[in-house]
Amino acid sequence: MTEMVYGAVPLRDEDPVLPKWWRTIDRWSFFSVLMLFAIGILLGLAASVPLAEDNGFAPFHYVQRQMVFGGVALMAMMAVSMMRPETVRRLAVLGFLAALAAVMLLPLFGTGFGKGAVRWYSLGFASVQPSEFLKPTFVVAAAWMIAASREAGGPPGRLWSFGLLMVILGFLAMQPDFGQAALVLFGWGVVWFVSGAPVMLLIAMAAAVVAAGSLAYSHSEHFARRIDGFLSAEVDPTTQIGFATNAIREGGFFGVGVGEGQVKWSLPDAHTDFIIAVAAEEYGLVLVLTIIALYAIIVLRSFIRLIRERDPFIRLAGTGLVALLGAQAMINMGVAVRLLPAKGMTLPFVSYGGSSIVAAGLAMGMLLALTRSRPQGQIGDILWGRR
C-alpha cells in the first residue's frame, strides 16, 4: 500500500538525531514522566527517612539511590525513544527472552528477603526483580506475534503468545506474585482484544481467571490472607491498609503540611507501595489529583497518537504498553484507598525501587518510540478510501 503524507511532521534523513527526536516525540508525555519522577523524589525526601534511620543509613540514603536509579531510567527512556519501531521490537524480544529465563531460574537462585515470596536476585549492592522487565517486553513481543499472524502465511502468533502467557503466569504464581501475573494477563488481554479477538473467547478467559483465583484462594495462604483483609467489613487500624486510609483521610484537601505527616513512621512500605498515602497526607488531594492528571495525560496522549497509526504492530504494542502503565498506577492507588486487595505494586516513576523505575523507563521509552510522528497517512484515509 502506498504511503502518503497528510499533515505529518516532515522528516529528513540528513537531520541530526536529537532535533528529529525532539520534533517527533510526544512532548506532553515526556514532560509528564519528568514531573512524576520529580514528585517521587519530593515524596521520597519525606517517606524514606524513617526507614533509613531504622536500617542505620544516612537520612537520605534511599533518596540518593532513587536519584541514581531514576537517572538510569531516564537515560534508558531517552535512548530507547530514539529507536525505530523495528529496533524496539528486536530489543523487546531479546529482553523478554532474558527476563523469562531469569524468572524461571528464581526458584534456584532467587531470594525473598524474608518477605515470603521469591521475586528477586540479590547482587549485594542492589537487587533485581526480573518480573518488572518481563511485563513490558512480553507485551511488545506478544504484539509482534499477533500482528504477524494477521499477515498472509504468517505464523500462529495468537497461539504462541497464549502458550507463553501460560508459562509466565505459572512461574509468577510459583513465587507467588499474583499482582504481576494479573498485570501481565491484563496487558496481553488488551493486545488480544484490540487485535480483534472474539468477545466470547475473552468472556471465557475471564471465567477462567475467576476459577484460577478461586483455586489460588483455596491453596495459597498468602493470596487468601490478602483477599480476606480486603473483604473484611472492619479495617484493622494497625495494618498497612489501616495506616494508609487514615493518612489519606487526615490529609484533606491541602494536606497537613510538608514533613508533618505521621504515616511514614508507621508504614514500612511508605516509600514504595503506599507512596500515594504520604502524598495525600502531607500535600492533600491537590497533589494526588496532579499525579492522576499526569498519568491521564500519558495515557490519553498515547492513545490519540496510536489511533492514527497504520502499522498493526505499533498499534498493538503501544496500546499494550500504555494499558500496563495506566493499570499499574490505578492498582497502586486503588489499593491505598481500599478499592482493591493489596498487591505489593509500585507507583510508576514515583515509588522507590530500582527494578521498577528502570523497567518503567524502558517501557516508556518504547512507548515514546512507537508514538513518534512518522511520515504516513492517517488510518482514516484507509478506512474511508482516501488516497
* Residue 236 confidence (pLDDT): 61
121 within a domain of the structure (yes/no) = no
* Average pLDDT score over residue span 291-311: 94
256 within a domain of the structure (yes/no) = yes
Pull the grid cell for residue 215.
483455586
Q: Has residue 19 got a pLDDT over 60?
A: yes
| CA neighbor of 239 nearest in space, from 187, 274, 211, 210 | 274
Q: Has residue 8 got a pLDDT over 70?
A: no
119 within a domain of the structure (yes/no) = no
* Average pLDDT score over residue span 218-225: 70
- 195 vs 30, higher pLDDT: 30
Pull the grid cell for residue 155.
505464523
Q: Has residue 83 got a pLDDT over 60?
A: yes
Examine the domain organization and report whether 54 and 186 are in the same domain: yes
State the DSSP string of 138-170.
HHHHHHHHHHHHTSTT---HHHHHHHHHHHHHH
- pLDDT band of residue 91 (cuts 50, 70, 90) is very high
Examine the domain organization and report whether 105 and 14 are in the same domain: no
244 within a domain of the structure (yes/no) = yes
Examine the domain organization and report whether 341 and 381 are in the same domain: no
* Residue 201 confidence (pLDDT): 76
Handedness of CA 216, 233, 248, 333 (dihedral sign): positive
Q: How many domains does the chain have?
A: 2
Q: Has residue 357 got a pLDDT over 90?
A: yes
Examine the domain organization and report whether 10 and 32 are in the same domain: no
Question: What does each C-alpha distance from 107 to 138, 176, 374, 387 come to in angstroms?
Answer: 21, 11, 44, 56
pLDDT per residue over 109-157, tens digit each?
Answer: 988 876 767 888 988 878 899 999 999 999 999 999 999 988 877 888 8
In terms of DSSP H, where are the helices of 123-254? 130-149, 157-174, 178-194, 199-219, 221-231, 240-251
* Residue 316 confidence (pLDDT): 96
Examine the domain organization and report whether 150 and 223 are in the same domain: yes
Examine the domain organization and report whether 278 and 344 are in the same domain: yes
Examine the domain organization and report whether 236 and 314 are in the same domain: yes
Examine the domain organization and report whether 169 and 317 are in the same domain: yes
Chain centroid, CA 233 distance in Å: 30
- 311 vs 55, higher pLDDT: 311
Q: Has residue 221 got a pLDDT over 80?
A: no
Examine the domain organization and report whether 92 and 141 are in the same domain: yes
Of all helices (H) and strands (E), which one includes residue 56? none
Q: Has residue 289 got a pLDDT over 90?
A: yes
Handedness of CA 317, 141, 200, 153 (dihedral sign): positive
Examine the domain organization and report whether 144 and 221 are in the same domain: yes
Percentage of the chain lying above the pLDDT 70 cut: 87
Distance CA 143, CA 156 (A): 12
* Average pLDDT score over residue span 327-334: 93
For the ranges 58-62, 70-74, 88-92, 337-341, the lowest mean pLDDT is seen at: 337-341
* Average pLDDT score over residue span 312-318: 95
pLDDT per residue over 224-261, tens digit each?
Answer: 776 766 666 666 666 777 778 888 888 888 888 887 78
Residues 6 or more apart in contact with residue 60 via CB below 8 angstroms: 45, 48, 49, 52
347 within a domain of the structure (yes/no) = yes
* Residue 130 confidence (pLDDT): 94
- pLDDT band of residue 267 (cuts 50, 70, 90) is confident
150 within a domain of the structure (yes/no) = yes
Examine the domain organization and report whether 248 and 229 are in the same domain: yes
118 within a domain of the structure (yes/no) = no
Provide the residue range defining the domain that includes 74: 26-113+127-371
* Residue 118 confidence (pLDDT): 84
Handedness of CA 156, 160, 163, 165 (dihedral sign): negative
Kindly report the average pLDDT of the chain as a whole number: 85
Examine the domain organization and report whether 53 and 179 are in the same domain: yes
122 within a domain of the structure (yes/no) = no
